[in-house]
Structure 1
């Protein structure tokens, strides 16, 4: 397992700060071994938590043009028909995946195709499962014209802990299913909007793995992966 590039700088400075704090406290409380051990133990726990947050595990990606693959690790918290007001401006099926602080926070392209639309929206930091987070929080919106035909919209949404969304795509880019399109630092959520006739392959509460879990299948003349 490797460490994601978005975490290397944070981990370096966190380690530096923790070392300085521990050296200072050791000099201040040289005679109190228990206090020093507690501080050292807490420092190790903090660093390990950050380390696991920025992990970038190897994934054997599942690729198929008719399928929509989970863009993130997490849990399915929404499957419903909604009005999508930003791009489609009509009814779409929404699938939302909540990413807790212990999940891998890499976000991946759910389909292959061409990026037709991209927008970054600064905003608030409601908890990621709040109904208003999809339209009020800091977020990005990406629309890809999939190689299967239909357009798929996916949205990175910052949560209460997150304060920075990172993205690696722009309009006109050709993207490949399963490749990284961004990273969200700390708790967050990803919304996917697909045509109403898309066949769901996940249920509420189901856990997902980015790049591997099939969440839906697009209705196209060649839709045959699942028979």
Structure 2
């Protein structure tokens, strides 16, 4: 039966419980149509907080996508000034999450969290470039076992007003492991280690924890199948 039970993120439990209670109350005290509308709304909340298993490819010197969604930007830009990453431009890949995407965020690579910075801000459309600098966001700098670093930035959007980050400086993290969630539409930026090459293009759909985002070698050098681990 566990194969038929949806795997949900814990952040969704209060919303689902409230939705179910309101639905029951509506069916008892209000017209049936209201009850059905609330039931549909509760079903959408369950859908939003789904937490599917993912198989992360085991490829050295590579980053996997931190989120499901569509790649909106692949460019070289200076890293966030809030993090100790210098001024040299790095490859930044931005992924926009619609309300229909899985919103669980996953770690792009193994490492140790060295910095975690929360920045209050606006709630502009997360698909806009200026959202990276103007919107509310949570920034993480992770040092890889090789000694270099990368950054992951969770960005709140027009609808998303709540960023949840479950890691703090000093935590050891693994590629593909969940580390947080952004509720109801958002964006995630990944700043790659210096010298990394993009493995994705704008408009491409990402699967968090599975799609290879960037690597130390160009994608043309990759051949054959790869092993993976399920998270």
TM range (shorter): 0.7 to 0.9
Q: CA deviation at 1:18?
A: 2.4
Q: Which residue of 1 aligns with 2:98?
A: 100
Of the structure 1 ranges 41-50 and 177-186, higher mean CA displacement relative to structure 2 is found in 41-50
Q: Which residue of 2 aligns with 1:21?
A: 26
In structure 2, the gaps of 5 or more residues are: 1-5, 224-231
Q: Which residue of 1 aligns with 2:215?
A: 217
- Matching of residue 226 in structure 1 with residue 231 in structure 2: no
Q: Which residue of 1 aligns with 2:77?
A: 82
Cα distance in 1 for partners of 2:19, 2:10 equals 15
- Matching of residue 72 in structure 1 with residue 67 in structure 2: yes
In structure 1, the gaps of 5 or more residues are: 27-35
Cα distance in 2 for partners of 1:160, 1:226 equals 38
- Contact 2:67/2:95 (<8 A) preserved: yes
> Residue by residue, what CA displacement relative to the aligned partner does 1:145-202 show, whole Å, maximum 9, x if unpaired?
1123321111000111111111111111111111111111110000011245211111
Q: CA deviation at 1:41?
A: 2.8
**Shift in CA distance, 162/193, structure 1 to aligned 2, threshold 3 Å:** same
- Contact 1:65/1:111 (<8 A) preserved: no
Q: CA deviation at 1:2?
A: 0.9
Q: Which residue of 2 aligns with 1:31?
A: none
Alignment of 1:44-55 (within 5 A): 44-55=39-50
Q: CA deviation at 1:224?
A: 11
**Shift in CA distance, 52/148, structure 1 to aligned 2, threshold 3 Å:** same
Please give the secondary structure, in 2, of the residue aligned with 1:61. strand
Q: CA deviation at 1:65?
A: 3.3
TM score, norm. by length of structure 2: 0.86
Alignment of 1:157-196 (within 5 A): 157-196=155-194
Please give the secondary structure, in 2, of the residue aligned with 1:3. coil
- Contact 1:65/1:148 (<8 A) preserved: no
Post-superposition, which runs of at least 4 consecutive aligned residues in structure 1 deviate over 4 A? Answer: none
Please give the secondary structure, in 1, of the residue aligned with 2:30. helix
- Contact 2:105/2:208 (<8 A) preserved: yes
Name the count of aligned residue pairs.
214
- Matching of residue 8 in structure 1 with residue 17 in structure 2: no
Q: Which residue of 2 aligns with 1:156?
A: 154
TM score, norm. by length of structure 1: 0.88
- Contact 1:69/1:110 (<8 A) preserved: yes
Q: Which residue of 2 aligns with 1:199?
A: 197
Q: CA deviation at 1:70?
A: 0.5
